Structure 1
Amino acid sequence: MDHSFCHCPSSLAVWNLAHCNDLSNANDMVETLNDIFINRPYDADKLSKIILLCWQIWQKRKNVIFRNEIFSPHAVVAGAAAFTRRLNSQTNTSSCVAAHSNNIKWSLPSSGYVKLNFDGYVFQHNSNFASGFVLRDDSGCPLIAYTRRIGKTDVPIAEVVALRDGLLSARNRNISRVIAEGDSQLVINCIKSTTSIPSKLSSIVKDIIHIATRFEHISFSHTFQEANFIANVVANHSHVLGFKFFSAGCYCFKFRLL
């Protein structure tokens, strides 16, 4: 990973073009990310910028190998910028939509609680699915983010798998108070038993309900996609970067190949 993102001349050119001086001078990717996002004040814009650039670097490197394309640092930066513009344009298609979107934001959990956001993601070119979740404390600090590939299935299964994984992770870390949020109304209704549970979800939903009894307090609620964006990004990274990733205890980032 250090070679791909830190030592490779092409990647260095990307960081220089994007004015990411910390990464253009980095020797160790994990230590540098720790310094930027753990040891310094949280900067959401910088986090988004680095994630998008890493995504573009990885995609372009794959294209060099599998499609014999030429790696262009300018194309990487332009691709990240274009994605940002598309994302912004989707929330500004009309004044009403823009106002609505601006009011939908992720909110901190109550004091003493941890918020679990979960989501499923489908990679369009091969119809494979991934699940992902992120746990954040009452100050908004990420405790752990996790993603894994689950093969060919469908969105509801990917989302209940993500929810189950998130709850198990919370219990393994002795977290006792959880607010679980997802953008699938079906999944939330199944957990709350306010709708009939599809047979394909039945066993996993039973697991979730059983795990939920082990918490001191837990709630399940539906949220909009705008407020669940980070969970979607986490799930997406299983396909884009090809590995699971963790940010554990807000002290370190660990990257593991699948």
Structure 2
Amino acid sequence: MNEIWKLNIPPKVKIFFKVKIFAWLLSRGRLKTKTRIASFCDNNDTVCQLCRLGDEDLNHVFFSCPFASGVWQNAGINIYDFSSFDAWFLSWFRKGYHKVNTENLIVLCWKIWEARNNLIFRQKTVSPIMVVHAAATLEAGFRDNNLVRDTFPLSHYGIIKWTPPPPGVFKLNFDGSVRDKNKAAAGFVIRDHDANPIFAGSRSFGSSSVPIAEGSALRDGLYHAFLLKCKKLIVEGDSKLIIDAAKNNCTVPWRLRTLFKDIWFLSSQFEEVAFIHIPREANLVADAVTNHAHSSPTPTTWKQKLPFSAFSAFNFDYFSSSCSRGFAL
């Protein structure tokens, strides 16, 4: 499986293995699953820690385990055309295979294995959708920093669609915009795992720039999520600058530094928070809520509802299957 070494996957991850070494071990069936350990030492505990429903071997961990199935489902990947993980894994390297797709699958496997190890050794749990977001962020960040020409869009498996968070987690989408004479507006929406709006807000604040409008929307959304006592939060926005700055992945422009002191402080108040950059087409409701502020002179909030002007975007998120880049309502 020499193709493993040609893949453009992060050569080093701080926790546990190098990803390429992990991929090589995976291809050779040498990962230390519980059943493999039991084959050469006295170990009676072979039950999968992630689901407690089956013996932990490679096929179970990455294919038949309900946790793994949840990861593939949230990533929009169909695994049901294959009878086993081995058969599926070999298909990733067939003649004419798409290199970026294989890289994405390898990193998703790495993140599943990392979730398994964190549960066993650190008693830390994550949801399948958090694994998908973490894998997307890892690969996207690596490609951005290494000038890879093959893009890794947040619609990383060929679809663009807003997806609800898992149970117990809330999702915050934010947006900012500037119109005539630099009139800026900011808006956000917080939704639950059933895609129901929990809280939304928008406001205009005179002459400003798009980054300040986007950052203000993020700060407003985090503040209200904190007031609502949301403990776990996924934050999505279509401004790469604001998302990268929130994650400390770039130098914050001086005009935004005071704003980001508030953002970082508010972020620290949650048990778990993940910042995700998404295409504009997956941020339609936040965009519609923001647009409301351009026609309203006073700040407006909505509890468990949305402005009428956002209904089309909400229905699209709720009922549509996906859309392509450039889509607009």
Tell me the TM-score normalised to structure 2 length: 0.44
Letter aligned with residue 199 of structure 1 = W
Letter in 2 for 1:112: G
Q: Which residue of 1 is the match for residue 213 of structure 2?
A: 158
TM-score by length of 1: 0.56
Name the residue aligned to 1:141.
196
Deviation digits for residues 127-159 of structure 1 (CA, Å, limit 9, x no counterpart)? 200000000011000011100012111011101
Q: Return the structure number with greater strand share.
A: 1
Q: Extract structure 1 runs of 4+ deviating beyond 2 A.
A: 240-247
List per-residue Cα deviations over 1:10-45 (Å, max 9, x = no partner).
xxxxxxxxxxxxxxxxxxxxxxxxxxxxxxxxxxxx
- C-alpha separation between the residues in 2 aligned to 1:211 and 1:174? 12
Give the deviation of 1:241 after TM superposition: 4.2
CA offsets 1:100-121 (integer angstroms, 9 cap, x no match)? 9x92111111211110000001
1:234 maps onto 2:294 in alignment: no
Tell me the SS of whatever aligns to 1:126. Answer: helix
Q: Structure 1 residue 195: deviation in Å?
A: 0.9
Query: Which residue is equivalent to 2:266?
Result: 211
Secondary structure of the structure 2 residue equivalent to 1:175: coil
Which residue of structure 1 lines up, in the alignment, with residue 98 of structure 2?
none
Give the alignment partner of residue 231 of structure 2, picking from 176, 191, 200. 176
- In structure 2, the residue matched to 1:55 is none
Query: Is the CA contact 1:117–1:231 (under 8 Å) kept in the aligned structure 2?
Result: yes
Deviations 1:189-224 (A, max 9, x none): 111111111000111111111111111111111000
Query: Aligned equivalents of 2:230 and 2:302: distance in 1?
Result: 16
Does residue 108 (structure 1) correspond to residue 170 (structure 2)? The answer is no
Which residue in 2 is equivalent to 1:186?
A: 241
Taking only the aligned residue pairs, the percentage that are identical comes to 39
Shift of 1:243: 4.4
Aligned to 2:177: 121
Query: Deviations along 1:57-101, whole A, 9 cap, x unmatched?
Result: xxxxxxxxxxxxxxxxxxxxxxxxxxxxxxxxxxxxxxxxxx99x
Q: Supply the distance in 1 between the matched residues of 2:297 and 2:205 (Cα, whole angstroms).
A: 12
Describe the SS at the equivalent of 2:214: helix
More helix by share: 1
8 Å contact from structure 1 (residues 237, 243) kept in 2: no
* Equivalent in 196, 203, 209 of residue 251 of structure 2: 196
**Structure possessing the higher radius of gyration over alpha carbons:** 2
Give the corresponding residue for 2:22: none
1:246 and 2:301 are equivalent in the alignment: yes
Count of equivalent residues: 153
**Displacement after TM superposition at 1:175 (Å):** 1.1
Structure 2 gaps of 5+ residues are: 1-154, 308-329
- Superposition deviation, residue 244 in structure 1: 3.6
Q: Which residue of 2 aligns with 1:33?
A: none
CA distance in 1, matches of 2:204, 2:160: 29
Where in structure 1 are there 5+ consecutive unaligned residues? 1-98, 254-258
Aligned to 2:121: none
Q: Is the 8 A contact 1:118 1:231 kept in 2?
A: yes
Q: Could you tell me how far 1:242 is from its partner in structure 2?
A: 4.0
